[in-house]
Every structure is written in structure tokens, then in C-alpha cells.
Amino acid sequence: MINIQSLDFRYPGSDFHLSINNFTIAAGEKVAVIGPSGSGKTTLLNLIAGIIAPRAGSIHVGEAQVDQLNDSQRRSFRITNIGFVFQDFELLEYLSVLDNILHPYRISKALKLDQSVRQRAVQLAKQMSISDKLKRSVGKLSQGERQRVAICRAMLTNPDLILADEATGNLDPNNKAHILELLFKSVEDNQATLLAVTHDHELLPNFDRVIDFQTFYGDRAS
């Protein structure tokens, strides 16, 4: 599903340097990435999603070679193939729960918003136990509920790949386990691949594989 070869990335004006020789994740795998802050975990997710581009190397996601796509193509690829769950949820306060879930369809011509999509949004909300709050403003939701909305939004396009950047970082322990359970179930139902950055070591047994940046990519300078 994901294949990265000889990747080299630097932020302009910074001495941060991410270098990966070989990184592979198979389709359907649930992989956790751990490592100290500043080790490049979020940068890796952004590179895979095409939000930033590498200086050298190749990034394959499914059939697409992300590093070879232009900006417009990378955006289209991202919105149709990747579901991103952000650490701070990044929901829009002025939209209702349902409108936040449907938001990718409202901001992309590559996606067509029809009745079936609406039904799927409601279905996802049911799975996440927030179907009774669809018309509510997201500003009135708890942290856990907001994270569920963010997961629904990421899952709505039936993406092949889910990228989760510390998706449970802002949640209390009870909520963490529950949200992760819901995320896993959703990923399995959609036969998607999950790459999650986390700091919560107690959650790691739930993943198929754990990659520790410090251990496996010691040649990276940061």
C-alpha cells in the first residue's frame, strides 16, 4: 500500500532532516508510528498525504507515485484516496456535525455529494454513536464527540488509507480506548490501511505493527 524509497526531506531554513531508506506498509495493515517529539512522525504523514513534497526519493501510495504528482493532482489524490484524522480534530465551528462530516464533498469537484453520500454520513455517525447530534454545532460537543466527527469525516470517502496524527492525544483514557476501537472497526469495515502516529504506548498492542522512529531510522538526523 505504501512504499517509500531513499526519501530525503528538509524544511527550508531549518536543520531538521528526515531520511528514510526503505519504508513499506502492506494493504490492510494497521501500523503505529512512535518516537520522540520532533522525530518526524507528522512530517512522514504529511509526505505520504502529499501535503509536502520530498527533495529526493519516491513515495508510492497504492498505484500512485505521490512525489511525481503536481500540486493540483496531489490535492485531488488526497481528498479521494486518503482520510486524515488530525490531532486537533480541525473541525469548522460554524458548521453542524453533519456538515462537518460532509465537508470534503463540499470543497472538492472530484467528489459528488448525493443522497447515498448523505446516507453513508448518517451511517458512519450511527457507528460512532453521534447520530443524535448531527444537527448540533460542533462547538457544543465534548472532545470525544468531536474526535468521532473527525473520524467520520476521514472515513466518508471510503479511503484506502487512513492517516491518524495522534488521534487520541486529546482524550481521556476511557475515551482513548473507545475511539481507537471505533477507528479500528471503521478501518476494518472499509478494508482500509491505517497509519497512526501515537504517543500512547498502552494502545500499541492493538496495532499489527509498531515502528519506532528512533530505533529503525537511526540514520535520520534531526
Partner 1 sequence: MMDSLYVAWHYISFYKIRTLILVACITLIGGLPLMLELILDESEQQLRSRALSTPLILGAKGSALDLVMNTLYYTDAVPEMITLSAAREVADTDLAQPIHLYARFKARGFPIVGTTIDYFEFRDFQLAHGRPFVMLGECVIGHELARKLGLGVGDTIVSSPETVFDLAGIYPLKMNIVGMLTKTHSPDDRAVFVDIKTAWVIQGLGHGHEDVARIKDQSVIISRDEKTVTANAKLFQYTEITSDNVDSFHFHGDQANYPITAVIVVSNDTKSGTLLRGRYVDNKNYQIFPPKEIIDDLLESIFRIKAIIDTVIVIVGFATLLAIIFIFSLSLRMRRQEMQTIFKLGSQRLTMVYLVGAEIAIILIFSGVVIVGLLGMVSVYVPEIARTVVLN
Give the shortest CB-90-to-partner 1 separation in angstroms.
Answer: 4
Q: Show the site string, 31-70: x = touches partner 1 by CB under 8 A, - = not.
A: ------------------x-x-------------------
CB of 79 to partner 1, least distance (A): 3
Position 135 contacts partner 1 (CB under 8 A): no
The residue range among 82-90, 115-123, 173-181, 211-219 that interacts with partner 1, by the rule CB under 8 A, is 82-90
C-alpha angle with apex 59: 54 to 61, nearest 5 degrees?
140
Given candidates 36, 92, 188, 189, which one binds partner 1 under the rule CB under 8 A? Answer: 92
Q: Does 106 sit near partner 1 (CB under 8 A)? A: yes
Among 26, 27, 56, 107, binds partner 1 (CB under 8 A): 107
